[in-house]
């Protein structure tokens, strides 16, 4: 086994992490335990959202043991903090880029750019625009509505976040938002949001447009897009703070994304012509596979669920295999 990939909670649980996102405290808290198993980001004096080259957490990278005990995988060869890999899918689609999409949608309402009516009416109007855009550009969209719950806006003081079921809808929403914000008159706040969205889309397109190996020149552009996204996202958060709006939350997964970007930078620093893509630690295919198995399990008797689920899967697999061979 080379590494373990998954969402942050399972990494923290299996690895018996002393430092993980659940240890997040108020800024400058003297008892801050740190949120990252790879560095001291989140501890007092080590702000985890600092993306600069001089960020203090960078000097602590892989220098401090994050484990509070001996986990079940500690016996494996090469076990170390790097064994537990941040997952691009959960960090981006289900993480910081869902925060971006949710806040960017709500900002359109904040600025009176989503039509008339109450919040549910404006969200429906934005959803209809998104459906039209996705249909015109042949972009799959799985959500069937846009509600307060789906953007985590039960009250105005909430930090919006895309809470839709399918992570792929984050990509669809960001592509729609790039189109939508491109039509606005440039102002500091909306321009920062627009550039964050553009950079997020470039970052994801770059990663998912390649296989396991990425040419160094392409990897350079991908990491630059990722870093620009973080920079513009933090800038947008600052503008929102000045306006006394709870938008663009600086969530811990922003820091996890910084480590994914740093991985690409470290690989490029070796001078290699090709680098391995961090997509190899993404869980999208795995979760899709489990989801299909789960759906099959709901169609059989609870007393024979295991045998019948596997039998149904084998039958389904053979049907696809037969079609592929022909």
Asked, for residue 5, whether it belongs to a domain, the answer is yes
With bands split at pLDDT 50, 70 and 90, how would you rate the model's confidence at 296? low
Which pLDDT belongs to residue 307?
Answer: 76
Mark whether 72 and 169 lie in a shared domain: no
State yes or no: pLDDT of 286 exceeds 60: no
* Environment class of 232 (CB within 10 Å of its CB; exposed 0-12, middle 13-18, buried 19+): buried
The pTM of the full predicted model, rounded to 2 decimals, is 0.86
Do residues 42 and 252 lie in contact, with contact meaning Cβ atoms separated by under 8 Å?
Answer: yes
For the ranges 6-10, 29-33, 98-102, 260-264, which has the lowest average pLDDT? 29-33
Give the number of residues written for the chain: 326
Mark whether 57 and 116 lie in a shared domain: no
Asked, for residue 295, whether it belongs to a domain, the answer is yes
Torsion angle in degrees (nearest 10) through CA of 39, 253, 23, 52? 40
Asked, for residue 267, whether it belongs to a domain, the answer is yes
Mark whether 158 and 58 lie in a shared domain: no
Place of tokens 């399918």: 166
Mark whether 109 and 16 lie in a shared domain: no
Q: Residues with Cβ < 8 Å from 163, sequence gap 6 or more?
A: 98, 102, 149, 150, 151, 152
Q: Residues with Cβ < 8 Å from 190, sequence gap 6 or more?
A: 107, 111, 181, 184
Asked, for residue 285, whether it belongs to a domain, the answer is no
Cα 220 to Cα 232: distance, rounded to the nearest angstrom: 18
Domain of 307, in residue numbers: 291-325
Report the DSSP pairing between strands 213-215 and 274-276.
Answer: antiparallel
Mark whether 264 and 130 lie in a shared domain: yes
pLDDT by residue (tens digit) across 5-61?
A: 888 898 999 999 999 988 766 655 556 789 999 999 999 999 999 999 999 999 999
* φ/ψ (deg, to 5) at 322: -65, -45
Q: Domains in the chain: how many in total? A: 3
Which pLDDT belongs to residue 25?
Answer: 63
Which pLDDT belongs to residue 326?
Answer: 58
Mark whether 310 and 265 lie in a shared domain: no
Mark whether 216 and 296 lie in a shared domain: no
Mark whether 55 and 185 lie in a shared domain: no
Mark whether 173 and 26 lie in a shared domain: no
pLDDT by residue (tens digit) across 134-185?
A: 999 999 999 999 999 999 999 999 999 999 999 999 999 999 999 999 999 9
Domain boundary among 21, 55, 84: 84
Asked, for residue 237, whether it belongs to a domain, the answer is yes
Domain boundary among 33, 68, 84: 84
Do residues 196 and 188 lie in contact, with contact meaning Cβ atoms separated by under 8 Å?
Answer: no
Domain boundary among 84, 113, 129: 84
Asked, for residue 230, whether it belongs to a domain, the answer is yes
Structure tokens of 172?
């669809």
């Amino acid at each position: 086994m080379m590494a373990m990939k998954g969402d942050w909670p399972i990494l923290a649980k299996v690895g018996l992490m002393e430092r993980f996102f659940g240890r997040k405290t108020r800024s400058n808290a003297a008892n801050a335990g740190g949120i990252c198993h790879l560095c001291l980001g989140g501890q007092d004096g080590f702000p985890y959202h600092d993306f600069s080259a001089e960020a203090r957490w960078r000097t602590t990278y892989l220098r401090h043991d994050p484990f509070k005990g001996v986990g079940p995988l500690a016996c494996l060869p090469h076990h170390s903090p790097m064994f537990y890999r941040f997952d691009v899918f959960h960090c981006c689609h289900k993480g910081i880029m869902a925060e971006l999409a949710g806040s960017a949608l709500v900002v359109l309402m904040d600025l009176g750019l989503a039509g008339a009516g109450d919040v549910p009416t404006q969200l429906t109007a934005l959803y209809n625009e998104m459906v039209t855009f996705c249909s015109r550009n042949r972009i799959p969209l799985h959500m069937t509505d846009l509600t307060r719950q789906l953007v985590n806006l039960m009250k105005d003081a909430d930090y919006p976040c895309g809470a839709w079921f399918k992570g792929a809808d984050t990509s669809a929403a960001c592509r729609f938002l790039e189109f939508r914000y491109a039509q606005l008159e440039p102002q500091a706040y909306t321009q920062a949001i627009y550039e964050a969205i553009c950079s997020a889309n470039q970052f994801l397109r770059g990663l998912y447009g390649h296989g396991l190996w990425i040419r160094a020149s392409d990897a350079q552009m991908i990491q630059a897009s990722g870093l620009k996204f973080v920079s513009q996202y933090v800038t947008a958060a600052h503008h929102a703070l000045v306006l006394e709006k709870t938008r663009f939350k600086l969530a811990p997964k922003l820091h996890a994304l910084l480590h994914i970007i740093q991985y690409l930078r470290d690989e490029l620093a070796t001078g290699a012509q090709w680098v391995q893509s961090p997509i190899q630690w993404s869980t999208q295919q795995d979760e899709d596979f489990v989801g299909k198995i789960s759906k099959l399990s709901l169609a059989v008797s609870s007393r024979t669920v295991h045998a019948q689920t596997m039998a149904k899967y084998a039958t389904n697999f053979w049907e696809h295999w037969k079609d592929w061979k022909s």
